[in-house]
Structure 1
Amino acid sequence: MQYLLKITLKDTPVWRLVAVDGTADIAFVAELIAASFAYEKARRVFTVNGVEYRAGNGGDVEDIKELSLFDELHLEQGQSCIYRHNINNDLIHIVEVMKKEDHLFCLMPSTLVGSGLLPKDLPFDLEHINAHFDKDDIDSLDLRECTKRMRALGVQRKDLKESLLRLGSRDLSVKINC
């Protein structure tokens, strides 16, 4: 399935509408979301119906479960979950499934619309983020740049084999005797 997700940084005016493919793994989708917001590398997690799903550390997987497909979270249209890009801070993102279809008519992955360019030079907490948006002279969000960062990663993980090997999987080789 393909998803149109609205990701809102709770209690701020910051949000993104992104398109992702559900056949990408959970950690990779978390990294695509982070790219849309221009977040630094950090641990990421999704919480769906009270269950936490670890979603990598800056794109790298630390557990085989993080390679589960995003589709396996079983999110339906209209349903929401929580995304945290750094599990050590209090910033919470609400992820709402706006559309879930076999094929969305947009390029994957992409940031289609959004609001709020996050400050780079301030502490990353609600107080400083909201104070930043109360100013009159803030830069506007460049959707092309958000999409460019996402597309640099691709639709799905390119290093799946290497990720599996780092997690202790063995390289599969098949020998056929005739």
Structure 2
Amino acid sequence: MSYRRTIVTLPGGTDYHPPVASSAPASLLPPTPLRGGAELAVFQGAGTCLDNVLMIWTEVEFIPLYEDQPLFAEVDQFLRSQGFLLHSFTGIATRRYKAFAQACPQRRPRRGQAIWTDAIYVRDFRHLEALSSLKLKKLAVLLDQVAGADDLCFEVLQLLDAREGTTLAPGYLGRIQ
């Protein structure tokens, strides 16, 4: 597990990773620069700390950019085993193959090779009722303010309304319409 030697260089590439959101007092951990390709090792090393995490925003690769780097499928499989589901991608970076780029320098392919993306994972929405009301409230804020996931935020607020007799979900709809 080296992740140290870059085997593909992308223009404007970065080792910055968006924050991991947790239900710990900070709720949103500060951004942490990582060595490229180390995301899975970080998640595996988190141990029981992941039990309190409500949302994860991480970079994932579809083709290897670093030696021995785990790809999306491996990261996805591990996070699913920890009770998370993929919510969305924030956009997929693609590339042109060299021969095409040289032959048609002004044209992008209609569908280029997927390279990497940021992936947003949330606690499994099929089991949200297992979360405490406090965690549901924090998750709703993260879904609305960080992920921009209005629909899942509304679902969480409806669960809170049913549990606590509040009217958060209708109020939320009124605010976003």
TM bin (shorter chain): under 0.3
Larger helix share, 1 or 2: 2
Normalised TM-score (structure 2): 0.26
Q: Which has the larger radius of gyration?
A: 2
Normalised TM-score (structure 1): 0.26
